[in-house]
Chain A
Amino acid sequence: MATMKALLSGAWAIFCKDIQSELRTRYALNALLLFAACTAVAVSLGVGFLGLRRDPQSLVIQSSLLWIALLFAALNGLSRSFVQEEERRTALALRLAARPTAVFLGKFCFNLVLLLVLDVVTTVLFVIFLRVEIANLSLFVAMLAMGSLSLTTATTLVAAIIARANFKSGLFAVLAFPLIVPLLVIAIQGTTLALGGGAWSQGLPLLQILSSYAVATLVASLMLFPFVWEA
């Protein structure tokens, strides 16, 4: 019990430090928000008010575009918390002072918060620029939250792996892509359902798959991270 408390307190300290550092440097946040804004504007210029069309194909395209924007912004920003520690050589001090699991949980929570902020900004931009209409808002929010949780669990470990490599950004996309594809397919299906006003009973199985994915990748990451961190 004391060990768990120490672990969670270490993770909380790392999470708070990352938030504090991010608010001062805007190392990841600016890049993510800029990416989200550019994508929303570019897509709206290309396809116009796509949200005004309510046929099934348009709904799929809307949700796909939303998740593509989120995915690329995530690939651009979520690796930074680990990459920054390595590039600025603060990882050594952290490695000596903190337990690996606390480091993983702290970074995971930071990435999740970052992605949830990105979710809100991207969705608002899509609603404004593409006139996207969300018919079942609660299901949409659940899909977005669960999809983001799954995306964060999958990418946080990959970020730790690539942080010590030379070709970081390219390697991150290459390693993360096969892990992310299954969750993207499910998330796009669920978001399409929510945009079209599908019922919770239809969305629940998709949410269960996403939550299972998140739990599986989180458990695997917790088991593997100490080896990656000490490698």
Chain B
Amino acid sequence: MRSRRWRLPDSASASTLTAMNTEQPPPPAVDAATPPPSPAQPAAITLELHELAASYGARIVFRGVSLTLQAGEVLVVSGANGSGKSTLLRLLCGLQQPTAGTIAYHWQGQVYYPIAARPLIGWVAPDLALYRELSGLENLRFFAAVRNRTPSDAELYALLEQVGLGGRGDDLVAAYSSGMTHRLRYAYALLHQPPVLLLDEPTVTLDTRGAAVVDQVIARQRTHGISVIATNDPRELRYGNYVLTLNPV
């Protein structure tokens, strides 16, 4: 059975979780004993946050965030600048440690905490830099190799095509525009077909066609796993099954 729970912080300034009315059909119930996923079927992954809190020194960014997200669902995290959207995403992939609370990924009968769960995560963020002295293709080949994967060049070119960089894979990243660099970040994140996709400011620097690529990526991820999107662009709220609004504590 799907379970969903959230708890508001006990402070006056609350973080709120809202269910959105989306057109997507509800995701199927997921059982931990489900066999390994096929691309057409949501992966058996669950993300569970329990009483999560983050602070920088004495300043509390947010606290008391508890929720469960299941395969096929998209969570949009919104809020003003400094409310902790990017911080939450960094906590989810273990780039930062929470002040309190736990984050757990349940995947194929095992529980993974953020650092151990990194092979399951694809992360796109404006502050994610790739190697400028390498070409787009060389970047992808390198990151595939460190993830112990050996995709063919044809597969890598297809991935570049998917993110709208067809024909530019052999150019050095230094020659890319900011929008093209952001598209390459998507290719980096999708390279290992992760069941969890974390998108920080997903359409920043992208043109209309780039935004359409993001639409496709998120739509495809619904059949593949979980997406968490941090944004303060009201147009991007539509992506979410749920919207978590963070308010400064």
A interface vs B, CB < 8 Å? 6, 9-10, 12-14, 17, 20-21, 24-25, 88-90, 92-98, 102, 230
Q: How many A-B residue pairs have CB under 8 A?
A: 58
Chain A neighbourhood of B145, CB < 8 A = 9-10, 12-13
State in angstroms the CA–CA spacing of A12 and B130 once bound together: 19
Asked if residues B129 and A13 are in contact (CB atoms below 8 Å), the reply is no
Chain B neighbourhood of A14, CB < 8 A = 146
Least CB distance, A231 to chain B, in whole angstroms: 10
Asked if residues A17 and B93 are in contact (CB atoms below 8 Å), the reply is no
State in angstroms the CA–CA spacing of A20 and B131 once bound together: 11
B133 close to A (CB within 8 Å): yes
State the main secondary structure of chain B at its contact with A: loop
Asked if residues A96 and B133 are in contact (CB atoms below 8 Å), the reply is no
Query: How large, as a class, is the contact surface on chain B?
Result: 20 to 34
B interface vs A, CB < 8 Å? 93-95, 115, 118, 121, 123, 125, 127-134, 138, 142-143, 145-148, 188
Asked whether A96 and B93 contact (CB < 8 A) given A9-B145, A88-B132, the answer is yes
Asked if residues B129 and A88 are in contact (CB atoms below 8 Å), the reply is yes
Q: Name which residue of chain B comes closest to A27, CB basis.
A: B133
Asked if residues A97 and B143 are in contact (CB atoms below 8 Å), the reply is yes
Q: Name which residue of chain B comes closest to A226, CB basis.
A: B115
Least CB distance, B56 to chain A, in whole angstroms: 16
Least CB distance, B113 to chain A, in whole angstroms: 12
The winner among A12, A24, A102 for most chain B CB atoms within 10 A is A24
Least CB distance, A55 to chain B, in whole angstroms: 49
Asked if residues B146 and A13 are in contact (CB atoms below 8 Å), the reply is yes
Asked if residues A97 and B133 are in contact (CB atoms below 8 Å), the reply is no
Beyond A92-B125, A93-B188, A97-B146, 19 additional pairs, beta carbon < 8 A: A10-B145, A13-B145, A13-B146, A17-B134, A21-B134, A88-B129, A88-B132, A89-B127, A89-B128, A89-B129, A90-B131, A92-B95, A93-B129, A96-B93, A96-B95, A97-B118, A97-B147, A98-B147, A102-B146
